[in-house]
Homo-oligomer: A and B are copies of this chain.
Amino acid sequence: MTDMHDLTRKLQNDNGTKIVLLVADGLGGLPLEPGGNTELESARTPNLDELARKGTLGLSIPVKPGITPGSGPGHLGLFGYDPLKYQIGRGVLEALGIDFELGPDDVAIRGNFCTLDAAGNISDRRAGRISSETGVPLCEKLNRIKIPGVEVFVRHVKEYRMVIVFRGPGLGGDVDDTDPQQTGVPPLAPVARTPGSQKTVEVAQEFLKQARTLLANDAPANFLTMRGIDKQPEIPTFKEVYGLRAGAIAVYPMYRGLARLVSMDVLDAGQTLGDQTARLKAAWNDYDFFFIHFKYTDSTGEDGNFDAKVERIEELDAAIPQITALNPDVLIVTGDHSTPSKMRSHSWHPVPTLLAADNCRSDDCTAFGERDCLRGGLGQFEAKYLMPMALAHAGRLDKFGA
């Protein structure tokens, strides 16, 4: 099957139009009771509703029906990259989440402190969930490990979690986890799944050997396991596949990292939505495409706080006029997945999507909400088709075939 990027590469034209993709993380929701309103339907959103009347609505399926995505596949889909083709390892995602700038030769690993008993068996896979206060100096200690021929970075993430990065030529990312997923047994030795990753195994063995000595007296965090050992996938750049100069305005590191994966420029986002829209305005002439990320619709959903999610949606709505004042040719408001507060987690439910542009076909929707989106003109579509639709409405795709 043809990759959509083969089409967008061939058909793209740079006509100077501007596209804004506003992602409200976890936007989609559920009613608390059958037949009730979702968070988005409950929120008072006069600005989004006005856009809904002018534009076209639909529901975005992040990966495939029934599949609940993490933030990585959720965003790659919105960026138009097939999330089943470009898979991001856990170690890489962890590195992105702390703003670590991964290079193409880097192997990223999620490390977990663990407790070994006297026999060398794991007695606690999370080292008694040590505090960050305890974890930070231990990571600093591990960061001093030297291995000939490679650079080693160890960065604390949270509590018992860390990111380990090996940087150097010839390091493959096909290495199994050393976490045995059970206690009472020793950690597994790192094993390469492909010959190209043998060097990574040797580096990991040396790292683990030195770590065992360094941490010997640090129980309960007297050792670590390695998970999600991987390199970042080779992802074609946004500029190459779409011809767009793209700027990312995201407060949280994870989303800056995901934008960096597709080679967007990461702009200073400040701390608030007001900071973000101010940055948008300031950078307006420098980019063709802006990705703006709003986190709190997801975090309130994860908290199970329906009312707080409604409030955050209303906060988002209030920021819309700052964006429309810039007259983007295409403005999209959507989410990377649903996070119904009723479920306190990401879900597979299709995500409300609004596309506003001059040449939208009317669909008689009058408000931005799940029920309206269900009968919207975009229909239900896989997220990876959103970027081609954005480009089309921006006049940035030439005709296919004569």
Q: A34-B53, A400-B70 are in contact. Are A374 and B363 (CB under 8 A)?
A: yes
Q: Is A123's CB within 8 Å of the partner chain B?
A: no
Could you tell me the distance between the alpha carbons of A399 and B63 in the complex, rounded to whole angstroms? 11
Interface residues of A in 351-402 (CB under 8 A from B): 359-364, 370-371, 374-375, 377, 379-381, 385, 387-393, 397-402
User: Do the beta carbons of A67 and B35 come within 8 Å of each other?
Assistant: no
A34-B53, A392-B66, A400-B70 in contact; A359/B375 too (CB < 8 A)?
no
Name A62's closest neighbour in chain B (CB-CB).
B400
Check A73 against B400 for contact (C-beta < 8 Å).
Answer: yes
Asked if A31 is an interface residue, CB under 8 A from chain B, the answer is yes
Does A263 belong to the interface (CB within 8 Å)? no
Is A90 close to B, CB under 8 A? yes
Q: Could you say which of A99-107, A126-134, A188-196, A339-347 contacts chain B?
A: A339-347
Is A148 in the interface zone, CB < 8 Å from B?
Answer: no
Interface presence of A2 (CB below 8 A): yes
Report B-chain residues with C-beta under 8 Å of the C-beta of A360.
Answer: 34
CB <8 Å contact, A401 and B371:
no
Q: What residues on B are CB-neighbors of A391 within 8 Å? A: 66
Is the pair B381, A371 in contact by a Cβ cutoff of 8 Å? no
Contacting pair A31 B362 (CB below 8 A):
yes
A392 touches B90 (CB 8 A): no
Chain A interface size band reads 35 or more
Partner of A348, one of B38, B66, B72, B392: B392
Chain B residue nearest to A6 (CB atoms) is B84
A72 touches B35 (CB 8 A): no
Query: B359–A363 contact, CB under 8 A?
Result: no
Q: Does A11 contact B (CB under 8 A)?
A: yes
A311-355 vs B: 1/0 string, CB under 8 Å?
A: 000000000000000000000000000001011011111000000
With A54-B34, A388-B67, A392-B66 as known contacts, state yes or no: A346 contacts B399, CB within 8 Å.
yes
Q: List 28 contacting pairs A-B, 8 Å CB cutoff, sorted by A.
A: A1-B84, A7-B67, A30-B361, A34-B53, A34-B54, A34-B362, A36-B362, A64-B388, A65-B392, A66-B387, A66-B389, A66-B391, A66-B397, A67-B397, A68-B392, A68-B398, A68-B400, A74-B401, A83-B400, A87-B401, A93-B401, A343-B359, A347-B392, A349-B361, A374-B375, A374-B379, A375-B375, A379-B380
